[in-house]
Amino acid sequence: MRKGRLDYRMGIGYYVQMMARMAAAVLLAEWPAGGACWAEGSSPSTQPPVQQTGGGEGGLKGEVWLVSTREATWETALEEAVQTIHYWRLQSPEKWEAVEGDVFFSRMASATPTVIYIHGNRADSAAAIEQAWVIYQGVCDAGGDRRFRLVIWSWPAERISARALTDLRFKAARSDVEAYLLAWHLKRADSSAPILLVGYSFGARVITGALHLLGGGRIMGRSLNDADSGSDSGSKGRFRAVLVASAIGNDWLLPGGRHDRALFPLEKMLVTVNCADPALRWYRGLERCDSPALGRTGPVLVNGSDSLRDKVESISVVDSVGKQHDCRAYLLAPELQARLPVYLFGPGKTAKGP
């Protein structure tokens, strides 16, 4: 395998293949056929669609950015992929402006709390923005006049194969590429303000993978130091994470787990748990010998997992979301909406007013 490139070949037994096909069929059956959160686009668009704010005095209450990795192809070397990323700033409710990466990073260095939203599978650029806007409006309502920044991480997650299992495995592998790209960005985000990472489904896998890399781990046999990182020192960011309907194994964060260094650079993490999610029920059939989904069971606590106990909070959303794997239902869950501003601004700082 060439350095920095993906290998999607997976040699597994007949039984595991059949289980994975069943899982893929159930996962696709549970996804809505369309709509804001699961819109299925054609080829990725360079120009992001305009998103109406839908509130306030017709203006924006915080900075809104879009980082698009949709032009980084499957076979792009990781060092080359960072050169194909596009950056956009929402100048008004009707206008996006393309900017250079240096402009984005200079703004990220300011002491403004930041939310970075990473969507899940089968979301085009319009769906990514619409999903992020649920978070944006919720934080605006809870934060009052407090300023914050929203960054929408838009990655190529449209369905690319008629074969469900093939599509899901490609997206799982692509999540690892996105983890590297996200970590590359977070390492440069030299801000003293909190950075809250919010990920849905495969987006949660992107987040824990990026944090694992920041903590000194390796993904796809590579670490951040294997490529030019632009800095000799590790990130000084104040990272927090919210994992929604997490499509990772419930033991990945444990010592020896796939992302066992993810908690090292992290201040705290919130995990939604929904034991009734029908799609996450079949997650363990997606990859060989995988554990149940974190978003369905919550984290596993064993001896030596003190960092999980200290840093990870779990909340049940089964009463609000129920038997569905729907992005909007999760993001609008009252239990989650109440915790998002606390994780961004801190306790006691979410009441409206100055």
What CATH number is associated with residue 77? 3.40.50
Q: What was the pLDDT predicted at 47?
A: 56
Q: Is the model's pLDDT at 266 over the cut of 90?
A: yes
Summarize pLDDT for 15-70 with one digit per residue, the tens.
334 334 444 443 433 433 333 332 333 333 445 665 544 444 346 778 999 999 99
Q: Between the CA of residue 229 and those of 147, 224, 232, 275, what are the distances in Å? A: 29, 7, 7, 40
- Secondary structure of residue 153 in the 3-state scheme: strand
Q: Is the model's pLDDT at 338 over the cut of 60?
A: yes
- Domain membership flag for residue 267: yes
Q: Is the distance from CB of 240 to CB of 194 less than 8 angstroms?
A: yes
Q: What does DSSP say about strands 149-154 and 114-118: parallel, antiparallel, or unpaired? A: parallel
Contacts of residue 172, Cβ cutoff 8 Å, sequence gap at least 6: 202, 205, 247, 286, 287
Contacts of residue 15, Cβ cutoff 8 Å, sequence gap at least 6: none
Is the pTM higher than 0.85?
no
The residues pairing with 68 across neighbouring beta strands, listed in sequence order, are: 86, 154
Q: Is 12 left (phi over 0), alpha (psi -120 to 50) or beta?
A: beta
- Domain membership flag for residue 341: no
- Domain membership flag for residue 336: no
Q: What range defines the domain where residue 149 resides? A: 64-327
- Domain membership flag for residue 318: yes
- Domain membership flag for residue 56: no
Q: What is the mean pLDDT of residues 246-251?
A: 94
- Domain membership flag for residue 182: yes
- Domain membership flag for residue 262: yes
**Residue 130 pLDDT level (bands cut at 50, 70, 90):** very high
Q: Is the distance from CB of 89 to CB of 81 less than 8 angstroms?
A: no
Q: Is the distance from CB of 238 to CB of 187 less than 8 angstroms?
A: no
Q: Which of 347, 325, 345, 284 is nearest to 140 (CA)?
A: 345
Q: What was the pLDDT predicted at 13?
A: 37
**Residue 205 pLDDT level (bands cut at 50, 70, 90):** very high
Order of all β-strands in the sheet with 194-200: 95-99, 86-92, 63-68, 149-154, 114-118, 194-200, 238-244, 266-273, 312-316
Q: What does DSSP say about strands 86-92 and 63-68: parallel, antiparallel, or unpaired? A: antiparallel
Extract the tokens encoding 209: 């993978």
Q: Is the distance from CB of 230 to CB of 275 less than 8 angstroms?
A: no
Q: What is the mean pLDDT of residues 236-250?
A: 92
Beta strands in 203-309 (DSSP E): 238-244, 266-273
Average pLDDT, the chain: 80
Tally the domains of the chain.
1
- Domain membership flag for residue 252: yes
Q: Is the model's pLDDT at 349 over the cut of 50?
A: no
- Secondary structure of residue 72 in the 3-state scheme: coil
Q: What was the pLDDT predicted at 304?
A: 61
**Longest Cα separation, the chain:** 61
